[in-house]
Amino acid sequence: MHYEVYSKDMLSSTTRAFGSPLRYVQGQGEFGRLPLYTAPYGNACVIIDGFLYQDLNARLEKAYAESDAKFVSISFNGECCEEEVERIGKIARENGAAVIVGAGGGKTMDTAKICADEMGLPVIIAPSSASTDAPVSEIAVVYKPDGEYIGSRKMKKNADLVLVDTEIIVKAPRRLFVAGMGDALATWLEAQACECSDSPNYIGSGMRRCKAGMAIAKASWDILFEDGEKALMALDSGVVTEAFENVVEANTLLSGLGFLNTGLATAHGIHSGLTVLPETHKYLHGEKVAFGIVCQMVLENTPAETVDKVMRFMVAIGLPVTLADLGVAAEHDKVLAIAEKTANGPLIHQEPFAVTTERVYGAIIAADALGRKYKGL
Ligand SMILES: [Zn+2]
């Protein structure tokens, strides 16, 4: 804790709340045990990422052949939009689906969440990488069929089961795993900012955090520093180790529960601000959040010891720490555009002090300089 606690009086209630998926299961080969998890509900409708369809569908054919449970699989068309939800809903109904499963990346998982929510069915989320903490949240991002962003949508409840197969995760691209560590690393820093400002979490329409939320956010931070580099070495060698399992849990479960139950602040605010520049669109969520972490530390004037620990870690695992790392030229107009979009958004105002566009501008410039220093540029 490095700033005085003071309330911005954002909450009128003292009620505290905690939310989460019903169950979380993580281990090697767990996807192949899907029939065990869907059988109690009835027929399963499994939506699979187009890129992974052949591989994952083959695993399911084998697994379901050895069981009495039944499934129908659908290759996801690539966009989380109303048309796709309708198409999948029709197939699910025709096959008497009693549970929806989403296996793959963020858009596949989000589509499964919406389909299940609309049909009033339970949902199982099986991520194919540990690149974000989205599997744990009940929030989905909706687009138009051509990919234009519409907005985010909150489901009535979190997943009934988040099923993480570390055998699949260890084969996903390295960059996705590193980005997941960026998303997870922000969790504890943002949780502390939200605690100090007594900002609402994401439970219901926003309530006060439970101690549980803070403890989980801190656990995610501790695991990354203890096991992050070891986990990356395991991934590079193509093997699952205890350290790798720990970081998958930190990126997915702990980071997800952490942010839902404690709130977000500058790191994610800067992420949203960066999206104003088209050159950042090809960078991953966790990569933009990573530069946001540097900005948050500058804005909060975090003690040097913590800054040093975080910067060394981020550089060591290859997370972006400069504007150039995100393809952005450090020019006045561009930095100002990021600062304006960030300051106009809600997240940065979860910090326990007043934030102006000028301060955000200054934080981005200073963060970029700090990142260059640690990269030896
Ligand atoms: Zn995030």
119 CA distance to ligand 1 centroid (A)?
27
- What mean pLDDT is predicted for residues 20-39? 98
- Of the listed ranges 138-142, 190-194, 337-341, the least confidently predicted one is 138-142
Please state the domain extents for the chain.
24-169, 174-374
The predicted structure's pLDDT at residue 148: 82
286 CA distance to ligand 1 centroid (A)?
6
- Of the listed ranges 7-16, 69-78, 116-125, the least confidently predicted one is 7-16
So what's the architecture of 174-374 in CATH? Up-down Bundle (1.20)
Residues facing 101 on adjacent strands: 46, 124
So what's the architecture of 24-169 in CATH? 3-Layer(aba) Sandwich (3.40)
C-alpha–C-alpha distance, residues 255 and 107, integer Å: 19
- Predicted confidence (pLDDT) at residue 2 exceeds the cutoff of 70: no
User: Is-catalytic flag, 117?
Assistant: no
User: Is-catalytic flag, 281?
Assistant: no
C-alpha–C-alpha distance, residues 334 and 261, integer Å: 33
- What mean pLDDT is predicted for residues 156-178? 97
Q: How confident is the model at residue 248 (pLDDT cuts 50, 70, 90)?
A: very high
E strands along 96-175, which residues? 99-104, 123-127, 139-143, 149-154, 161-165
Of these residues, 117, 165, 268, 349, which one is catalytic? 268
The predicted structure's pLDDT at residue 176: 98
160 CA distance to ligand 1 centroid (A)?
21
285 CA distance to ligand 1 centroid (A)?
7
Residues facing 26 on adjacent strands: 164
Q: How confident is the model at residue 3 (pLDDT cuts 50, 70, 90)?
A: very low
Q: Which residues hold their Cβ within 5 A of ligand 1, which is an ion?
A: 183
User: Is-catalytic flag, 2?
Assistant: no
132 CA distance to ligand 1 centroid (A)?
6
Q: 32-71: per-residue pLDDT in tens? A: 999 999 999 999 999 999 999 999 999 999 999 999 999 9
Tell me if residue 29 falls in helix, strand or coil: coil
The predicted structure's pLDDT at residue 11: 57
Of these residues, 117, 271, 325, 349, which one is catalytic? 271
246-26-49-271 Cα dihedral, nearest 10 degrees: -40
Residue 12: CB partners within 8 Å, gap ≥ 6?
none
Question: Percent of the chain having pLDDT more than 70?
Answer: 97
